[in-house]
A and B are shown apart, each in its own frame.
Chain A
Amino acid sequence: MESFTKAGLLVFAMTASSAMAAGVTDKDLLNDQKTPGDVLTYGMGLKAQRYSDIDMLNKDTVKELRPVWAFSLGGEKQRGQESQPMIKDGVMYVTGSYSRVYAIDAHTGDEIWQYDARLPDGIMPCCDVINRGVAMYDDLVIFGTLDAKLVALDAKTGKVRWKKKVEDYKGGYSITAAPIVVKGKVITGVSGGEFGIVGKVRAYDAKTGALVWERPTVEGHMGYMWKDGKKVETGISGGAPGKTWPADLWQSGGAAPWLGGTYDPDTDLLFFGTGNPAPWNSHMRPGDNLFSSSRLAIDPDDGKIVWHFQTTPHDGWDYDGVNELIAFDYKDKGKKVQAAATADRNGFFYVLDRTNGKFIRGFPFVDKISWASGLDENGRPIFVPSNRPGNPTDSAAGKQGNTVVAAPSFLGGKNWMPMAYSQKTGLFYVPSNEWEMDIWNEPTAYKRGAAYLGAGFTIKTINEDYVGVLRAIDPKTGKIVWEYQNYAPLWGGVLTTAGGLVFTGNPEGYLLAFDDKTGELLYKFNTGSGIVGSPVTWTMDGEQYVSVLSGWGGAVPLWGGDVAKRVKNFNQGGTVWTFKLPKQ
């Protein structure tokens, strides 16, 4: 009888929700940040501010927060769960490691459907086997797979509606980021094995999967649009090849936009970050190597690059420039400034004019930066030449090259994990890490049956007590308002709310909530495995919910040295945890 009732209720809930369920529209996506009852975009709004107006949970009530259900992703395969849940009509859509998608009843935690992408043998993805989430459009749930496909599932049934190969997985390509939907187009970048690849951003018709445009992220490559089935040239990225690259290295320049993008409706621009240039050794490619390690503003209609800002020209430290660029407004002498901010792998925080990409200000957001002594008036780094990893010719005759100690490490002052911007406090909440690396040319190396010159390196902690630091940063002054130190590296996303709270998780397994003004830790709950996902909040039946994935993994545990020691005892997992306040 009990099970009958449960099943009955579930059916009722589902019918009720499907009766109300309307397809997600462009307008819904644009309004996502203002609609507390759903979470339709990665970043809780296309700008990805990760800020919610909901204030039922606040500094007074958060201590009463309780888990209401937990959902296991199951399976033999776990690894890092870096996903952000989406909520629509009482259903949660979440991705798991190994290209899995789940639809869950958000009231009960009951599974509605599960989709497991079948991955080909011979797949050797460049990166970890994580996934960061789905995009929602119409009645579709769209996500990228480890074999570099875009798959659109029916939101009700989980059945495949369309599937597109974005790149060939045999070249080491992969997709781990959540796609973004803007103006009816689903837009994605791609992760790539480094060699012979050229980063591209591509837009597909979200309803049909038809390719609409593609934009290479390396100078010299032609962009295209598809009009009435015809492929039309839309101009060469950067105008011409070879301006900032020697020889023909632009043909394989890397710059993979692997973390996806954000969108600003005010300027009608997409913002995508790009990865490091290839080959890895900077001495092979003197020049700025555009558009590697940059932020690109892209026209969503045709894929044209409107402006760019390069954080690490001539990158020699593997400081991927993929981190999210978040649009926000502030007042300067009474005048509204349309700005955007990003916290780069290279340790600097940048505030840009988002209408034209001009540098407004920049400052370090980590304690130690060795590779540059600062930024000039245009935001270009002032290099410390002695801190550039060595020239391969210095390892002539099989000798190991000089070791350079560079900070931050290539895992970055901040890695992929998204920061949050509070419209209430005007502060950014930045999950950062304090670490450095030894890096040298390693002549004892092989690649596919041939002698090779590798890069050797070790990641090292800087402080005994902590690696991770959650920092509240004032983008107008560069002032660090408060910080919270964490023993293990931080690797999860941040959420902030009008209730004056900042949520994040740590590898030790805790969901954490802080006072947004003081940094006081107000709440913590151990989810049983490390948190490397991004929390969300929404309302349902008049109550505020918080949800986060738990499941330790990502890049950090793949590492050696003293960082490994800090994390080696953390257990894997794969659980969606959902919380709310108890009913009065």
Chain B
Amino acid sequence: MHKLFLQVLAALLMSLAFSFFASSRSYDDIVDSGVLKVALYRDFPPFSYMQNGQAKGLDVELAKALAEGMQTRLEILWATPGENTGDDLRQYLWKGSNLHTTDGTRVKADVMLRIPYDKAYAQQRDDTGRLAHELVHMFGPYHQERWQLAFNPKKIEDVPTMAVFQYHPIGVEIDSAPQFFLTTAFGGRLRNNTRSFADLPGAWDAMSKGEVDAVMGMLSQIQWLDSRDPGKGQLATRTYPLFGKQTWELGMAVKDDYRQLAYALEDIMLTALKDGRMAQWASDNGFEYRMPPRYEESR
């Protein structure tokens, strides 16, 4: 049951909880405390992960810059992803978790990174007609992402359309849009060649070993995998329309009543975006930075 259940759980809890959890930390509280708490997804290269005991990734660097800009210390709250982003916003931002605290205190972050910046998502209504994400403010898009195909050139010459995967096995992450697409599109004709893995690195490894002939996942992750394990996969130059969004933007989120914090964080982020640090962080982590198009002309 849990899957469907959680899909709307977040939305509902938000409306129920609106009055109960209205206290998170204001801009002044954060500055006074000397600590900025940032929620980042755990084990999520090349954005936020641990390597040799060090936190690494684009989002980690951005988090460091945000703390520095606020003149505070950085505290990372490693987030275990829920079944959808709404779960994460609830668990790490507006409600917090008290499962592991003895006194019932809810632990939450001041800001969470890699949250979609999408007007349709921000305006989404829950089943009672209220804004589903009204307890958070999503702002400051800093990265654009899209789906990407990589294939083993020794096995596949070219991928003009996804129909190639009627004949070649392809690896995808479990419960991702590419998996949904490949297991249902074209009357299910690609289904039997679709191999599901716990994550994209697992799929890439299988391609490396010749167990699948291609993988599909997020562009940045594919580029990062390619940079670590070069020559195993060729990145397709074409894009292949899946259902839903082809490209999307990622930004930040704070609790809705902390606009002053959001303005401050957005300014710090924009400085890093404009002075080239953001692109450098991406390239340090093995992928090419894609700036949200809205910033192109102002550059």
> Given A449-B114, A568-B16, are A443 and B244 neighbors across the interface (CB < 8 Å)?
yes
**B118 x A444 contact (CB < 8 A):** yes
> Given A123-B99, A564-B16, are A451 and B2 neighbors across the interface (CB < 8 Å)?
no
Is B21 close to A, CB under 8 A? no
| A244 shortest CB reach to chain B, Å | 14
Is B237 close to A, CB under 8 A? no
Is A436 close to B, CB under 8 A? no
> Given A252-B196, A453-B180, A458-B127, are A559 and B2 neighbors across the interface (CB < 8 Å)?
no
**A396 x B184 contact (CB < 8 A):** no
**B127 x A561 contact (CB < 8 A):** yes
> Given A286-B188, A558-B12, are A195 and B174 neighbors across the interface (CB < 8 Å)?
yes
* Complex-state Cα separation, A280 to B6, whole angstroms: 12
Is A6 close to B, CB under 8 A? no
Is A219 close to B, CB under 8 A? no
Is B121 close to A, CB under 8 A? yes
Residues 2-46 of B at the A interface (beta carbon under 8 Å)? 2-9, 11-13, 15-16, 41-42, 44
**B195 x A248 contact (CB < 8 A):** yes
- Chain A's closest residue to B198 (CB) is A196
| A445 shortest CB reach to chain B, Å | 6
> Given A124-B80, A560-B11, are A450 and B145 neighbors across the interface (CB < 8 Å)?
yes
Is A55 close to B, CB under 8 A? no
| A18 shortest CB reach to chain B, Å | 30
Q: Which of B81-89, B153-161, B256-264, B288-296 is the contact stretch?
A: B81-89
**A558 x B9 contact (CB < 8 A):** yes
| B156 shortest CB reach to chain A, Å | 19
- Chain A's closest residue to B248 (CB) is A451
Chain B contact-residue range equals 35 or more
Is B285 close to A, CB under 8 A? no
Residues on the A chain within 8 Å of B121, using CB:
444-446
Chain A contact-residue range equals 35 or more
Q: A126, A279, A449: which contacts B41 (Cβ < 8 A)? A: A449
**A453 x B177 contact (CB < 8 A):** yes
**B126 x A560 contact (CB < 8 A):** yes
Residues on the A chain within 8 Å of B174, using CB:
195-196, 252, 279
Q: Which of A114-122, A133-141, A496-504, A537-545 is the contact stretch?
A: A114-122
**A448 x B107 contact (CB < 8 A):** no
* Complex-state Cα separation, A442 to B245, whole angstroms: 12
Q: What 1/0 mask marks residues of chain A from 268 to 291 whose CB sits below 8 Å from any chain B CB?
A: 000000011011110111100000
* Complex-state Cα separation, A257 to B104, whole angstroms: 30
| B45 shortest CB reach to chain A, Å | 12
> Given A247-B191, A247-B193, A248-B196, are A447 and B175 neighbors across the interface (CB < 8 Å)?
yes
**A444 x B100 contact (CB < 8 A):** no
Q: Which of A150-158, A186-194, A329-337, A424-432 is the contact stretch?
A: A186-194
Q: B104, B128, B175, B250: which contacts A76 (Cβ < 8 A)? A: B104
Q: What 1/0 mask marks residues of chain B from 239 to 274 whose CB sits below 8 Å from any chain A CB?
A: 000011100101000000000000000000000000
**B97 x A124 contact (CB < 8 A):** yes
Q: B2, B78, B103, B243: which contacts A443 (Cβ < 8 A)? A: B243
Is B94 close to A, CB under 8 A? no
**B12 x A564 contact (CB < 8 A):** yes
Q: Which 4 A-B pairs have the closest CB atoms?
A: A76-B104, A458-B127, A451-B245, A284-B183
7 further A-B contacts with Cβ under 8 Å, apart from A76-B104, A251-B196, are: A248-B196, A284-B184, A448-B114, A450-B248, A453-B177, A458-B127, A560-B11
A-B contact pairs, 15 of them (CB 8 A): A122-B80, A191-B2, A246-B188, A248-B196, A276-B3, A278-B3, A397-B243, A398-B244, A445-B84, A446-B85, A449-B114, A450-B177, A555-B1, A559-B12, A560-B127
Binding site for B on A (CB under 8 A): 75-77, 98, 116, 118-127, 129, 146, 170, 172, 191-196, 246-249, 251-252, 275-276, 278-281, 283-286, 318, 320, 345, 391-393, 395-398, 410-412, 438-439, 442-459, 555, 557-561, 564, 568
